[in-house]
């Protein structure tokens, strides 16, 4: 009897994402696979292309509570943000002009 084996990857986010939402503009300009990969990065505390001040703000927010912010670029060069609200009730994918 031949039994197929599978590799299972377990992902443990650093914080709760709450409800996941995206603006229509973000959905139209960023491929779904890139959005999902970036949400995984965000949840794993990989904040993308932030400056030192924003990185420190995220570290404080993790420790003390507060909004979490990430910035990424799609393969087509579209800049987009992922923001998790301070109460961790919702995480939003959006373009800067959607803010």
Q: Where are the domains of the chain?
A: 19-98
More confident residue, 57 or 6: 57
To the question of pTM greater than 0.85 for the whole model, the response is yes
pLDDT number for residue 2: 47
> How big, in percent rounded to 5, are the helix, strand and coil portions of the chain?
35, 20, 45
Neighbours of 83 (CB within 10 A): 16
- Contacts for 77-83 with beta carbons within 8 Å, 24 or more apart? 78/29, 78/30, 80/26, 80/29, 80/30, 80/38, 82/38, 82/39, 82/42
pLDDT number for residue 5: 62
């Amino acid at each position: 009897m031949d039994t197929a084996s599978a590799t299972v990857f377990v992902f443990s986010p650093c914080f709760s994402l709450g409800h996941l939402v995206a603006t229509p503009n973000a959905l139209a300009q960023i491929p779904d696979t890139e959005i999902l990969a970036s949400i995984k990065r965000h949840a794993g505390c990989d904040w993308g292309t932030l400056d030192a001040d924003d990185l420190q703000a995220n570290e404080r927010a993790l420790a003390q509570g507060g909004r979490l912010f990430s910035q990424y670029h799609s393969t087509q060069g579209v800049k987009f943000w992922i923001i998790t609200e301070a109460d961790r009730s919702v995480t939003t994918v959006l373009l800067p002009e959607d803010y």
